[in-house]
Structure 1
């Protein structure tokens, strides 16, 4: 049972969402490729959350 609870812990996932939308750390290297990668990650996270919202809306209205 303890392994099942550990498997469904979502703190790492939500921690990643918070880290992605924070300001970048000035002490870390900042290249154009890294900025593009983080920008694409932000776009994909927003699209994913929007689609989950649409699916939930359609599920509850039908």
Structure 2
């Protein structure tokens, strides 16, 4: 099973993505900000990160560069 982190500050969009991915048997973690995402990245082994580009505390691409 793959572990996916969804980073999205809009709760409705984040919830929809979670439901979609979980229906396909992915283990999905969620974060609403870069700070929360960084904590998740350090605590979990992730296979994929799906990130909103514009977040309240920075750009989504920043977390992908740091995780890589």
More helix by share: 1
- Structure ID, larger Rg: 1
Confirm or deny a common fold (TM above 0.5).
no
TM-score w.r.t. length of structure 1? 0.28
More strand by share: 2
